[in-house]
Amino acid sequence: MHTYDNPVISGFHPDPSVCRVGDDYYLVCSSFEYFPGLPLFHSKDLVHWERIGNVLDRPEQLPLPLPGAKASGGLYAPTIRHHDGRYWIINTNVDGGGNFVVTAERPEGPWSDPVWIDLTGIDPDLAWEEDGTCWCAFSGPEGGINVARIDPDKGEVLEGPFATWSGSGLKYPEAPHLYRIGDWWYLLIAEGGTERGHSVSIARGRSPRGPWEGAPTNPLLSHSGTGRSIQNTGHADLVEATDGSWWMVLLGVRPRGFTPDVHVLGRETFLTPVEWDEDGWPVVAPVPESHTAPGGVWHPVPTLPARDDFDKSALAPHWISPFTRPEGSWSLTERPGWLTLRATGTTLDRPGYTFVGRRQQHHDCRVTAAIDPGTGRGGLSVRMDEAHHYELEVGDGQAGVVARIGPLRQTVAGRPVPSGPLIVTIAIRTSDLVPASPELTDGGPTGPDTVAFWLGDPDAPDAQPLVELDGRYLSTEVACGFTGRVVGMYAIEGAVAFDWFEYTPASAPSV
């Protein structure tokens, strides 16, 4: 018997949607302003997920492409389904175009160009009746759940939309999913907002049109007001496993620090079991930190490589960039074995800069890279958005740490460095935190973590510490929005080359 730990996909991977095809499971998440869009995962056991690509990996698949977006804009809440021999994903681009459908013969792609649907709202879902009738449920512009009959191949609305069941009365009913299970249609939604009041509720009826009967125990799931380490639980999808058991994937966060607690990794993907009571209603226990895994064969998969030496012909799918990634802004061939970034903007404070990064997925971790700034300027950055980021910047014979927190921007440390390649490190830890002001907790720490900047490898005797900053200013509760931290490489002047990049999880200290 095996157990699994939550989250099953860590870091900024919110709004999970899952489908099973035979013995295989496929899961897609929101990506908001980042390109490529919609990370896609495969699993054999619902626990071990391997990144197999991105659904929207061509600029022509996105109108405007995402340079027209804003932080926490872009691509919201996809749904993935398999029907009639094809894979289907329906999604919303809130910054241009609205709702659209893409399809593929194989989950690895290629995925089609979007077919746009004239429905105003977010969080769309697809469900088919046995005769092929297709229904789209979505969160409408007036704040309730709507349903429309559509032709997903042509993008035509055939009937509706019309209002349907919108939950138990909590705010922001959204994230609907329709299912035919036995003799009933079930409508699963999120409500309560995506913060601490987030919850999952359900109703059922004999038809996708309703009428709907809400479950007597709604909400099915909420951690609101509890002391559980996992909070903000909601935006769920149901799947039946190969052994006949039922499971729910959903988003949640792991807040840390002094009250009111903050989360820095974004909303992550969690897994929890589902039972069915004698009256045909699902029963969902609180999301466990660990649990007995689904039955069947255990299929561990490789984790993301710790180090990228940039010796492949293309960037790995976990590398993402804010808004867009123009062809001329990066190269793996200009200097073989190096990633060369060319500046497209002069600051990380406004969209339009060159940045290639990956999600921070562990509370304790270290990012180290070998950088040759040449005559350019760039370095490593920890990003939430254009108004909340820290960076270790190298150029003109100087290395410095820059902090942008809301309207404030300051270079907080700097020193001369020799020309040519050098090693730079950002180390993030949850112990030995930067202390707060004496007015809070008697001068004790309040933040969730410390972000430390080094020249060199911190384990090497010649490493030079630069500065340590409080991590709470790079949290969702401070920056606002729907995303989590992304750590990566950037250039804001000329061309900057990176020989390698290493992301290493660190064991959190025992308490």
213, 200, 294: which is closest to 1 by C-alpha?
A: 294
For 86-97, write each residue's pLDDT tens digit. 999 999 999 888
- The answer on pLDDT for 67 being more than 60 is no
Cβ 249 vs Cβ 232: under 8 Å: no
- The answer on pLDDT for 64 being more than 70 is no
For 39-50, write each residue's pLDDT tens digit. 999 999 999 999
- What confidence tier does 511 reach under pLDDT thresholds 50, 70, 90? very low
- Number of H helices and E strands in the chain, helices first, is 1, 39
- The answer on pLDDT for 439 being more than 80 is no
For 323-344, write each residue's pLDDT tens digit. 999 999 999 999 999 999 999 9
Task: Enumerate the active-site residues.
Answer: 15, 174
pLDDT of 447: 83
- What confidence tier does 440 reach under pLDDT thresholds 50, 70, 90? low
* Spatial distance between the Cα atoms of 450 and 431, rounded to a whole number of angstroms: 8
* Spatial distance between the Cα atoms of 433 and 508, rounded to a whole number of angstroms: 13
pLDDT averaged over every residue in the chain: 94
* Spatial distance between the Cα atoms of 204 and 240, rounded to a whole number of angstroms: 18
The topology under which CATH files domain 307-505 is Jelly Rolls (2.60.120)
Lowest mean pLDDT among 13-27, 215-229, 422-436, 438-452: 438-452
Query: pLDDT over 90 for what percent of the chain?
Result: 87
Token digits of residue 218:
């709604």
Average confidence (pLDDT) over 103-126? 97
* Spatial distance between the Cα atoms of 189 and 493, rounded to a whole number of angstroms: 47
Is the domain spanning 3-292 CATH 3.90.226.10? The answer is: no
Tell me whether residue 60 is exposed, middle or buried, using C-beta atoms within 10 angstroms of its C-beta: 0 to 12, 13 to 18, 19 or more: exposed
- What confidence tier does 510 reach under pLDDT thresholds 50, 70, 90? very low
For 134-170, write each residue's pLDDT tens digit. 999 999 998 899 999 999 999 999 999 999 999 999 9
For 211-255, write each residue's pLDDT tens digit. 999 999 999 999 999 999 999 999 999 999 999 999 999 999 999
- The answer on pLDDT for 509 being more than 70 is no
pLDDT of 482: 97
Tell me whether residue 38 is exposed, middle or buried, using C-beta atoms within 10 angstroms of its C-beta: 0 to 12, 13 to 18, 19 or more: buried
- What confidence tier does 441 reach under pLDDT thresholds 50, 70, 90? low
pLDDT of 66: 57
For 353-395, write each residue's pLDDT tens digit. 999 999 999 999 999 999 999 999 999 999 999 999 999 999 9
- The answer on pLDDT for 100 being more than 70 is yes
- Per-domain boundaries in the chain: 3-292, 307-505
| Paired residues of 190 in beta bridges | 174, 200
